[in-house]
Amino acid sequence: MTTPDVQRETRVSRLPGGLRVATQHDPTARSVAVGVWVGVGNRDESPDIAGASHFLEHLLFKGSTSRSSRDIAEGIDAVGGDLNAFTSKEYTAFHARTPAKDLDFGLDTLLDVVADPGFTAEEVDAERQVILEELAWSADTPDDVVHQNLALGLFPDHSLGWEVLGSVESVSAISADDIRAFHERWYRRANLVIAVVGDVDHDDICARVDNRLAGLADGAAPVRVAPTQPVVPETVVRRDIEQSHITFGWRAVDQFDDDRFALAVANQMIGGGWSSRLFQEVREKRGMSYSVFILDGQLCRQRDVLDLRRDAPREGGGVE
């Protein structure tokens, strides 16, 4: 059976205030995926509010001023969809997937929670305990600890080296007012990308997004500051556990350098798969370790997913 060619058109538009909307029209899709990408992560935080990006990600699902967290949870389950979010060092993402006929619900829900947060001081205190438990969980996980110390060594005295979750001290001290001020500072039209994939109309999505996010402030997000301190060559953390966890890392080319593609190939050859040199030598030949892998620079893979700070033509379309 021959599958007919399907034209999947990708379009990207910049709306007033710098808000960007990206869609891919897939006429064969029976579901729709919606994402809201915000150009803020823990690298944009000061020490006193370290972890604010992640804290805010949690709190936005507590509901908006017009719908509760239970309304959101029951609504997404009722249509057979899923809804989630995550925070990285350089961006925060909210995403939903629903049947195509329920696009309105998925899109409206994400835009509502992002643009119109309704969390209370009581909910902040309750979620604070959840995040403190998350920090304790990470501290009890040796591979989390070793990678966090690698980041601290690569970017000393810079927020890129900090834990995305923040610290026990900063999370304990952050107030509801701090979180609201953080939202106002970073959740701006020019700092957002809305992405929708499915059997959708680009112009219709643009109009709906523009209208729903009309209340967000215009203006660019604050400028980021690059690391300046030299790397720490060695860090050793001693623990009374059964295994040793070892990481090596170094600063490489930035995410716009043409050599990033060659770097990705080299990473795959060295330790990125079962046939890589490290895996074959360390595990298959010598049996010295169960797990051997390369994270592609720890930060670069995440940053390459979607650049929120620079216009770039997309395959099959362009910036309008």
d(C-alpha 87, C-alpha 102), whole Å: 26
Check if the beta carbon of residue 71 is closer than 8 Å to that of residue 225. Answer: no
Token digits of residue 194: 């809305």
- Cα 86 off chain centre by: 5
Cα Rg of the chain, angstroms = 21
Strands 20-25 and 192-198, how do they pair? parallel
The CA-based dihedral angle spanning residues 91, 302, 228, 139, taken in that order and rounded to the nearest 10 degrees? 90
Clarify whether 57 is annotated catalytic.
yes
The CA-based dihedral angle spanning residues 22, 25, 29, 33, taken in that order and rounded to the nearest 10 degrees? 10
DSSP per position, 127-165 = HHHHHHHHHHHHHT-HHHHHHHHHHHHHSTTSGGGS-TT
- 3-state SS track over 18-37: HCEEEEEECCCCCEEEEEEE
Picking from 83, 127, 85, the residue whose alpha carbon sits closest to that of residue 109 is 83
DSSP, res 86: E
- Cα 53 off chain centre by: 10
Catalytic residue among 57, 90, 127, 163: 57
DSSP, res 261: H
* DSSP helix/strand/coil, 243: coil
Check if the beta carbon of residue 244 is closer than 8 Å to that of residue 291. Answer: no
Check if the beta carbon of residue 42 is closer than 8 Å to that of residue 87. Answer: yes
Residues annotated as catalytic are: 57
